[in-house]
Each structure stands twice: as structure tokens, then as C-alpha cells.
Amino acid sequence: MWTLTLDTATPYLSLGLFRGEEGLGRVVRVERRHEEVLFGLLEEVLAQVGARREEISAVVLGEGPGSYTGLRIALAAGLGLAQALGVRVYGASSLLAACWPFLEEGGPPLTPLFTARNRLYYGATYLKEGGRPLEVRPPGKLEAEELPPKGLLLDPPPDPRALYQLLPYAREGVEPLYL
């Protein structure tokens, strides 16, 4: 069975299908056209991994932070698919999924930032300890003066494989983070 990962909190559409070590993730910059591209990309990825929708056994959704409309697209699509397929839905931080591939065990903290409006950023700070994510600073809106001097990742897309890898630390259900 396959796990679908989906995030539309940023200008990127992050979508993937994973099962164990196999799978495929795609990240496409679509600006504000997520709804135009999402289901076509899902069909492409299903075909490329040789799976059918009925083989999806779980859905992991990026919870943001992000724009209201951006977050709602993944939530509506993911929750609709999950309900139609009768599978469980899990939520994970979009910021954590964006920096997870760059976090090193025992390494320095990283702060992924998504550009918001009015010269503000959505950001949080994370470490990796014992193979697990550790939230050092919770997600919030930050002004440029509040940014840490090191370890910044500006506007990285949420990684679809990271959403899958974060499944053991995700909670069942979703709680979108609107800041």
C-alpha cells in the first residue's frame, strides 16, 4: 500500500507516493495555481510508480503555515481523497518538511522561512536528535530583525519524501496553521 503526501502551503506543489524505500516525489513551482495542477500531477505520479488510487492507504498533509487558500487546497483534496478511499489522514508541519532533508543528527539548528506578506516570514527552528525532530522555536510570524543570524533556509519547498519520513511523528488528523 502507498502513502500519499501533499503540501500546498507555499508557491510549490509538493506531492509524492511512497511505500517503504520506493516511491516518487515531485515538487513543482505553480505560484497560485495548485488546484489547476494537483490532480493531473497525482495521476502522473500514480502512473510512474505503477499504482492505482485504491492502493493509497494513508495521506500525509502539510499543515502550514501558509496562506488560507493555499492550505485549503491540499486539505480539501487530501481529506476528500482520504474519505473516498476510507484511509487515515495525518498532519505534519510544512516548515519541518521543508528543512528535514537538511537537518543533521546533532547538527546545528535550522530555521526554514516562508515569505509572508508585509515583509514578514513564517518560521520555526528545528534540531534533529535521536533521529527525531525537535522543535526549538514554534512556528510563528517573524520580522527580519527577529531572524536568527545563522541556519536560515529561505523559501524552501516542503519535501514530499520528508512528509512521508515524518509520518511516525505526525498526528492523526490535520490542524491547519494560519498565522
Give per-residue pLDDT as tens, 74-117.
999 999 999 999 999 999 999 999 999 999 999 999 999 999 98
Mean pLDDT of 40-62: 98
Residue 146 lies in a domain: yes
DSSP string, 50-70: T--GGGEEEEEEE--SS-HHH
Residue 36 lies in a domain: yes
Residue 19 lies in a domain: yes
Euclidean distance between CA atoms 148 and 126, whole angstroms:
12
Mean pLDDT, the chain, whole residue set: 96
* Alpha-helical runs (H) found in 86-137: 94-99
Given a contact cutoff of 8 angstroms between Cβ atoms, the answer to whether 36 and 50 are in contact is: no
pLDDT for 179 equals 86
Give per-residue pLDDT as tens, 13-26.
999 999 999 999 99
Euclidean distance between CA atoms 148 and 91, whole angstroms:
27
What letter would DSSP give residue 155? S
* Alpha-helical runs (H) found in the chain: 34-49, 68-85, 94-99, 160-165
Burial class (CB in 10 A: 0-12, 13-18, 19+), 85: middle
pLDDT for 91 equals 98
Is pLDDT above 90 for 54? yes
Mean pLDDT of 53-82: 96
Of 27-31, 116-120, 133-137, which range is least confident? 116-120
Residue 177 lies in a domain: no
Residue 20 lies in a domain: yes
Share of the chain above pLDDT 90, in %: 94
pTM for the full model? 0.96
pLDDT for 67 equals 85
CATH of the domain at 128: 3.30.420.40
Q: Which of 158, 162, 132 is nearest to 23 (CA)?
A: 162
Residue 178 lies in a domain: no
Total of domains in the chain: 1
pLDDT for 87 equals 98
Euclidean distance between CA atoms 5 and 24, whole angstroms:
10
> Domain range spanning residue 13?
2-172
- Residue 137 cell numbers, joined: 522555536
Residue 179 lies in a domain: no
